[in-house]
């Protein structure tokens, strides 16, 4: 987490050319404070789940490309946000930053709820030993509530940074996550008992009545 904080700070403040990029401080706050709290709670309550969430080594070749493309996308998002602030291309007003921060924290709460509901929630695409289909709570609304939460998180992240150009960049996350979900559903349908029936019961993947 500390390494991530340092890397993100470099990607934001170096392109901005100043420590007075206040939107970047807001971004660091709304991202890492909840992350630290969630990490501490998981360490005490469910260290096994925390271990799964920290394991980012994908087994599926297709997912390795997805992770790589996502990484490039995120670097571009932060660097462009810093440059946008530095050169004043189109810096969004403070009230957009505030509203986006509120939505970001709400999405973080959804993320935490998904972690609470699903103890099998690995960071990588796999079918675990004794894994069962979760169909209650948010999983009764969409099949991939974690991706719904992250899609919302990543969509408003550029707005917290007051950068509409970064927002356009992050729209590319939609086709990337589509590829990831398609591969994940293939793996789960083939390897997880009851998942095929679950797909028939819960029709939508990420957004109710839309996708």
**Percent of the chain surpassing pLDDT 90:** 55
Q: Confidence class of residue 194 from pLDDT cuts 50, 70 and 90?
A: confident
The pLDDT of residue 192 is above 90: no
Nearest CA among 129, 171, 157, 155 for reference residue 24: 157
* pTM of the predicted structure, to 2 decimals: 0.87
Q: Name every residue whose Cβ is closer than 8 Å to that of residue 101 and which is 6 or more positions away in sequence.
A: 26, 30, 160
Q: Confirm if 78 and 151 have CB atoms less than 8 A apart.
A: no
78-104 pLDDT, tens digit per residue, is 999 999 999 999 999 999 999 999 999
Segments in the chain forming alpha helices (H): 2-16, 22-45, 47-54, 61-87, 94-117, 145-160, 164-170, 173-191, 195-201
Calpha distance 6→191 (Å, rounded): 39
Enumerate residues 6+ apart whose C-beta is below 8 A from 57: 124
Which residues make Cβ contacts (< 8 Å) with residue 170, sequence separation at least 6?
A: 73, 77, 154, 155, 157, 158
* Domains parsed from the chain with CATH numbers: 2-51+60-122+134-201 (1.20.120.1630)
Q: Which tokens sit at 9?
A: 């700070």
For 24-55, what is each residue's pLDDT tens digit?
999 999 999 998 988 888 788 777 767 766 66
CA-based angle 62:67:68, to the nearest 5? Answer: 95
Residue 27, CA distances (Å) to 21, 57, 62, 81, 163 in order: 10, 27, 30, 11, 12
- Rounded to whole angstroms, the Cα distance separating 154 from 80 reads 15
């Amino acid at each position: 987490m500390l390494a991530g904080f340092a890397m993100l700070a470099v990607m934001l403040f170096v392109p901005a050319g100043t420590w007075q990029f206040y939107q970047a401080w807001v971004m660091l706050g709304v991202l890492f404070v909840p992350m630290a709290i969630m990490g501490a709670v998981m360490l005490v309550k469910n260290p096994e789940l925390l271990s799964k969430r920290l394991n980012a080594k994908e087994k599926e070749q297709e997912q390795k490309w997805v992770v790589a493309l996502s990484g490039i996308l995120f670097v571009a998002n932060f660097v462009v946000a810093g440059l946008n602030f530095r050169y004043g291309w189109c810096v969004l007003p403070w009230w957009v930053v505030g509203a986006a921060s509120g939505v970001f924290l709400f999405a973080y709460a959804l993320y935490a709820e998904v972690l609470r509901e699903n103890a099998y929630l690995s960071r990588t695409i796999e079918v675990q030993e004794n894994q069962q289909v979760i169909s209650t709570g948010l999983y009764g609304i969409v099949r991939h509530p974690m991706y719904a939460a992250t899609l919302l998180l990543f969509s408003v992240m550029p707005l917290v940074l007051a950068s509409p150009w970064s927002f356009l960049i992050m729209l590319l996350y939609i086709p990337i996550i589509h590829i990831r979900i398609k591969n994940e559903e293939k793996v789960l349908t083939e390897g997880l008992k009851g998942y095929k029936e679950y797909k028939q019961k819960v029709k939508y993947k990420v957004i109710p009545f839309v996708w």
